[in-house]
Amino acid sequence: MDAARPGGARAPVSRRDQPPGADPAPRRGGPRFSAGADRHHSKAHGVNGGHAAGRSEAVAHPVVSVIVPAYNAEEFLQDAIKNLLQQTLTVSAAGSVEIIVVDDGSTDATAQIGARAAAAHASVSYFRQEQNGGVARARARAVAESRGEFLWFVDCDDDWAVSALEKLVAAARSTGADVIVCGAEYVYPGQRRPLAAPPLNGPISGAEAFGMLLDGELTGHLWNKLFRRELTREIEFTPARVHSDLAMVAQLLAAAAHVAVISDVLYSYVVRGGSIIRSGSRRAESLLLVEQAVTTAAITLDTRIIGSNSYGYFRLRYVLLSGLKDALSGPYDADERDEIVAELRSRLTWRLVLLAARRGDWKRLALAGSAKVSVPLHRRVLRLAAEQGEC
């Protein structure tokens, strides 16, 4: 990241000034929510209000709490729990695992599957929410119920290596890092695409990792990362319908003292046609919430980040271009669409367009340049990118 970090320019966080492995600062409060909410989310997730349907007390001091939000997930939940119960960490001397399932008001058999698993396995806890509230709220509820030293967030319709937790925890122990990033892969019908972890020689600071996130060198996914649970006490859960992972990861990296990377490919993200990211849905409000969360995280580190090229590149990718694509393809009426497009184009400066060129990001250069010139031209570029499977 190109912005300097002057001493004293950031708000203090609990672990940033502590050496790896130091005892965390006392908790200041439970999970907090940003303003705004959404009641739908991609893949199989959610939460809002509700009651606990079953908690395991057998795992008193788990090493890892696995967070499993579920919404109408009857097709996947049972296998997901089975796969988590088979993690090698659970049968090793390294410690135990608790699995926390939060059902976000499902209308299928998710409730029965979750409750049955909690009754059958001491390490599984199941909580039922009566109203669907969105994946961020589901995760917040699960985190509030968690007791593990570390947290791992999974999607129940994905897959992962049986040794995933063992390797992630081993890396956390050996490095003392607050966040461990692993390799992963995207799984499409008939195709797999690797998501390599960035090559690092050793642990880096949370501020450096945050810069890599802005630059696109670290992804904003939760599922390929292990987090020290104490970090969640420093963040707000942003209830966005898209990119809520990014908002959360940005805040967690900003709160972390150290971040480490392992090259092992441990997680397989299964891309499904019905996900919110691949469907025509209204995302403008969510993109604004994510921008606010990332901006707040940046300010806690150094206010100068906001004027940096790294932050500008982030805004170009996740706010302006994502927002334009949403406005032009989502279910907005003409007046709404015109208003959103005009606002986003007014924020799209030639400086931001040139940032894509300087980084050799030719796809985004074409998208940003066309958007700056004219909306009809940008529509044509969007169609071309979609035909080539790049948008």
- Asked if residue 347 lies in contact with residue 316, where contact means CB atoms within 8 angstroms, the answer is no
Residue 40, pLDDT score: 34
Residue 266 parent element (H or E):
strand 258-270
- Fold exhibited by the domain 33-278: Spore Coat Polysaccharide Biosynthesis Protein SpsA; Chain A (3.90.550)
Residue 176, pLDDT score: 98
The pLDDT of residue 350 is above 90? yes
Strands (E), 58-160: 64-70, 97-104, 124-129, 150-153, 159-160
Find, among 244, 279, 211, 36, the residue nearest to 139 by Cα.
Answer: 244
Per residue in 159-176, pLDDT (tens digit) is 999 999 999 999 999 999
What are the C-alpha distances in Å from 233 to residues 9, 104, 168?
21, 22, 21
Q: How far apart are CA 303 and CA 292, in angstroms?
A: 14
In the chain, where are the structural domains located? Answer: 33-278, 308-387
Provide the pLDDT confidence category of residue 285 given band limits of 50, 70 and 90. Answer: confident
Q: How far apart are CA 68 and CA 357, in angstroms?
A: 40
Mean predicted confidence (pLDDT) in 123-142 = 92
Helical pair 322-329 and 375-387, crossing angle rounded to 10 deg: 90
- Whose tokens are 């960490």? That residue is 89
Q: Please state the pTM of the whole predicted model.
A: 0.84
Find, among 301, 282, 29, the residue nearest to 144 by Cα.
Answer: 29
